[in-house]
Amino acid sequence: MHTLQTSDEVHDRGLELVRDQILPWLRDSTGFRGLIRLDNRSAGRTLVVTLWADEDALRASAEAAERLTALATDTSGATREGLEEFDVTFFDLQV
Amino acid sequence: MAETETPGFVLGDEFAKVLTETTKSLICVLDRHGRILFFNDACERATGFSRNEVLGRDAREFVIPPEEADAFGEVLAYIWKTGHSSPQVGHWAAKDGGRRLIAWSNKLMEGAQGEDSYLVTTGIDLTNRASLAEEERALGGDPEAKLAEVGQLAQEQRALRRIATLVASEATPERVFTAVSEESARVLEVNASAVLRYEGDDTVTIVGRYDRDGIDAFQLGSRFPVDQNTTVGRVLYSHVPERIDDFASLPGDLPKLMLRIGYRSTVSAPIDVAGILWGAITIASVDILAAESEARLGAFAELASLAVASAQARDDLRSSRARIVRAGDDQRRKLERNLHDGAQQRLVSLALQLRLAKAQLKTNPEGAATSLQAATDELDLALEELRELARGLHPGALTQHGLPNAVAVLGGRLPIDVQIDAPEDRFPDNVEATAYYIISEALTNVVKHARANCANVKIRRDGDILRLQVTDDGRGGADPAAGSGILGLRDRAEASGGTLFVVSPPSKGTTVTAQLPLDV
């Protein structure tokens, strides 16, 4: 999970970069399961969660994914605050 | 016929009756099912069976010995199928269990209207003849022995024909091996028989089996160690048929098991496939096996090995095809991964860096310059990775400059010293590609596994054959069964009609030798 500090303008640019540049590449990565982006505009904070099949899949793509995310963050003008890993212990999504 | 008859004498029923009663020849009439319709006095005298006992019954229940029952059935079928009959020599079983040796001549007799025909057989009992000089000359030796031998040969031939028919019908190797076991047990008249395959690690696997007593032990697929306490183990070292008659004096689990089952005697004979010891046929018996068992089983195994070879070859072909398809799939998957993790990722980075540079252009020109430099570096890397991938697919140097050059380029990129000894001649595209693939895989293996300092590549043209040899000074001990590397190389060589061998004694380096035909 990436935690970013963003502004409105940065937010829009970042969204476009994620959707058009990074996501198509991520989707072809082994064990990639999905991406969730959460924004709190008033606080200027964005959370980007990428979901992976297992730890091995995460490790296999970690380096490249990190490089691309870092670059996308810089390009959009946001500031990276943190990168953390979590285990998914419960997941229920109805679409 | 009429002109040979003396006036007043009629060749009729009465004459036939008198003749069959008075002659010393055995006269017997059979129907197409082998049932006895007529059995004359001579037959009664020779066998001890009475007419009342045998009339209307199958000859195989009385006078045909069990070991000749199959042959008897085949002769009947042949005569009714073709209408031709030929003289036969065979045994009849007497009521007291003895055997009579009888020479027969046969003729089909038309049945009355609408009825089936009959086989009239007349026989001369040879058993008690004092002098068999005539027959001896004809048969060249003791006629009993000769007859037994001919009978045995015929039985072996029939057994082999049944196996060959199975092989021709593309039966699975399991069925062929089972048939080989069954036929060898039948031909040698033993309790049990098995086809065993040497696994290259001092064990054998039972790949075909037959036993007539319903023994639980030695099931299909089971594996056991081969040592000097087993005949299969002895065959592995001697390459000739081996016998054990006394398991009680031998140590180990297997002799114990044989004793427990009650087998007293076993003989194993080698099965060679393409000149290499592939496995063995083993027979086991509760009685001591006859002295000639080694020779007979050896001869049978030699002939059966042809069937085993074709069944095995077909099986090998099937699995090598499957491996080639799988290798192709793996290759494509690897290629997709390489593109995704390599060049694609670089190009996504590049796109991001160019956007960053564009954003920085007005406000932060220095930052923009840095981003552009990073983008240029990224592009160089992407290009290099794509080149690398393309070379892996098919080396450009191979098409343009030929095999020695392409191998030199390849060797130059490896972290070991590669010496190349090759003619500058060009060969057909597919041969060059296969040769390059084999050399490149072999060298990759040297780098990955051999812990070698240098490798030697030799390429020689020898008539219509291109010979390749890759040797290294590494630790050796490469196992063809482990991993698919060596199997993949062999598949590739065999797919183009060639052969490939790997010699890899521990700590003596590894040599990969391949022969590729140039005319395919």
- Assign residue B372 the CATH number of its domain: 1.20.5
Q: Is the CB of A29 less than 8 angstroms away from the CB of B340?
A: yes
pLDDT at residue number B16: 82
In this structure, the number of other CB atoms found within 10 A of the CB of residue B326 comes to 12
Kindly state whether residue B24 falls inside one of the protein's structural domains.
yes
| Pairing assessment for the beta strands B203-211 and B192-198 based on DSSP bridges | antiparallel
Residue B264 within any structural domain of the chain? yes
Q: Residue B459: which CATH number?
A: 3.30.565.10
Specify whether B367 is located in the same domain as B421: no
Helices B403-412 and B429-445 meet at what angle, rounded to 10? 20
How far is B403 from B488, CA to CA, in rounded Å? 20
Last residue of a domain, one of B393, B416, B439: B393
Encoded tokens for B310 = 């074709």
Say yes or no for a CB contact (<8 Å) between A25 and B340. yes
Q: Are residues B172 and B243 in the same domain?
A: yes
Cβ partners under 8 Å of residue B127, min gap 6: B99, B100, B101, B102
Q: Is residue B147 part of a domain?
A: no
Q: Are residues B407 and B458 in the same domain?
A: yes
Q: Is residue B135 part of a domain?
A: no
Does A30 contact B at CB distance below 8 Å?
A: yes
Q: Are residues B373 and B409 in the same domain?
A: no
Task: Verify that B205 and B259 share a domain, yes or no.
Answer: yes
Six-digit token pair at B280? 């063995």
Q: What is the pLDDT of residue B481?
A: 59
Residues B271 and B174 occupy one common structural domain: yes
Residue range B423-440: mean pLDDT, rounded: 90
pLDDT value at B457 more than 90: yes
Domains of chain A: 2-83 (3.30.70.100)
Whether B20 and B98 share a structural domain: yes
Q: Which domain holds residue B480?
A: 396-517
Listed residue (B283, B272, B270) closest to B238, CA to CA: B270
- Considering the domain boundaries, does residue B468 fall inside one? yes
For residue A70, what pLDDT band results from cuts at 50, 70 and 90? confident
Q: How many whole angstroms separate alpha carbon B311 and alpha carbon B74?
A: 28
The residue out of B249, B278, B313 marking a domain boundary is B313
> pLDDT (tens digit, 9 = 90+) per residue, A7-37?
877 888 888 888 888 888 888 888 888 999 9
Closest CA to B407 of B358, B432, B440: B440
Structural domain count of chain B: 4
pLDDT higher than threshold 60 for residue B12: yes
Q: Which of B38, B34, B80 is nearest to B58 (CA)?
A: B34
Q: pTM of this prediction?
A: 0.47
Q: Is B243 among the domain residues?
A: yes
Nearest Cα of chain A lies from the Cα of B396 at a distance, in angstroms, of: 29
Separation in Å, CA B77 to CA B55, B81, B203, B409, B516: 21, 6, 46, 72, 51
Same-domain pairing of B369 and B465: no
Which of the listed residues B96, B129, B162 is the one where a domain comes to its end? B129
pLDDT digits (tens, 9 = 90+) for B463-473: 889 999 999 99
* pLDDT-derived band at B235, boundaries 50, 70, 90: very high
Asked whether residue B137 is domain-assigned, the answer is no
Give the type of residue at B39. Answer: F
* CATH (domain of B67): 3.30.450.20
Q: How far apart are CA B314 and CA B309, in angstroms?
A: 8
CB contact under 8 A, A77 and B359: yes
Which helix (H) or strand (E) is B90 found in, with range?
strand B88-93
Whether B23 has a pLDDT exceeding 90, the answer reads no
Q: Which residues of B touch A28 (CB under 8 A)?
A: 340, 344
pLDDT of residue B39: 93
Scan for tokens 């932060």, then name that residue. B364
Indicate if B40 and B187 belong to the same structural domain: no
d(CA B267, CA B308): 19
Closest of A42, A45, A47 to residue A6, by C-alpha: A45
Same domain, B112 and B183: no
Question: Domain of B236: which CATH number?
Answer: 3.30.450.40
Residue B167 contacts residue B193 (beta carbons within 8 Å)? no
State how far the alpha carbon of A85 is from the alpha carbons of A46, A82, B169, in Å. Answer: 16, 10, 61
Q: Is A67 on the interface with B (CB under 8 A)?
A: yes
Which tokens hold the place of B356?
A: 């960053």
Quick check: B449 and B506 in contact, CB under 8 A?
Answer: no
State the DSSP H helix or E strand holding residue B309, giving kind and residue range, or none if neither.
helix B293-339
Q: Are residues B493 and B433 in the same domain?
A: yes
pLDDT at B2: 45
> Based on the domain organization, do B251 and B300 belong to the same domain?
yes
Domain annotation covers residue B265: yes
Nearest to A21 among B337, B352, B359 (CB): B352
Dihedral angle, C-alpha A68, A73, A79, A81, nearest 10 °: -40
